Amino acid sequence: MYKLLLVLFVFIATILVGIIMFQNNDDIDISASSSNTKSPFNTNTSNKILTRSIILLASLFFIISLLLSNINVKKYIKNIKLHNIKK
């Protein structure tokens, strides 16, 4: 289970970095005002799909990192208890 989560974690992190680095930001202009039609909230469908996929992958990234952390803490506590019993 731990190794599967770790492989999935690395895979999601790699895909997330790739999507963020290679997304097209031509529609977003720094000088865009609130009345302008080119704003981050008024984009085309492909950007919406990319944004939703980034949100999904980032959520999975944080959930899996919490699960991996929980598994590591449980292993650490188990090893501490075994070490104290052997003394």
Is the CB of residue 8 less than 8 Å from the CB of residue 64?
A: yes
pLDDT digits (tens, 9 = 90+) for 25-50: 665 555 544 555 555 555 567 778 88
Q: Looking at residue 33, what is its pLDDT?
A: 47
Q: Looking at residue 39, what is its pLDDT?
A: 56
| pLDDT, averaged in runs of 10, over the chain (87 residues) | 93 94 67 53 71 93 95 85 71
Q: Looking at residue 59, what is its pLDDT?
A: 96
Q: Looking at residue 47, what is its pLDDT?
A: 76
CA distances from 29 to 18, 35, 49, 53 (A): 22, 13, 19, 22
